[in-house]
Amino acid sequence: MSAKHQGINDPESNIDYRKGVDARDRAKSYRECPYGMSQMKRRHLWLAGWHDEDMGRERSLYRNEWCDHAA
């Protein structure tokens, strides 16, 4: 797979996806994504990794942060 298409066919092997997983493992907020709107592909991969790692956790950071702001 060429570097140009990295992350499309196998997103879980993409470096940005892995960085999102690592950020969640270190209890960082999804709001700490280092990629802005001008880097949407990288942002989506990072957030996908973060959210995939967050799912199924006893204490979901996303759910807790969302509820904090909804109140």
Residue 20: the pLDDT is: 97
- The number of C-alpha atoms within 13 Å of 19 and in the hemisphere containing its C-beta is 14
Residue 24: the pLDDT is: 95
- How many angstroms separate the Cα of 12 from the Cα of each of 7, 9, 70? 7, 9, 31
Residue 62: the pLDDT is: 65
What is the per-residue pLDDT across 3-43, written as a single tens digit (0 to 9) for each? 555 546 788 999 999 999 999 999 999 999 999 999 999 99
Residue 10: the pLDDT is: 85
| Strands (DSSP E) found in the chain | none
Residue 7: the pLDDT is: 46
What is the per-residue pLDDT across 44-61, written as a single tens digit (0 to 9) for each? 999 999 999 988 677 777
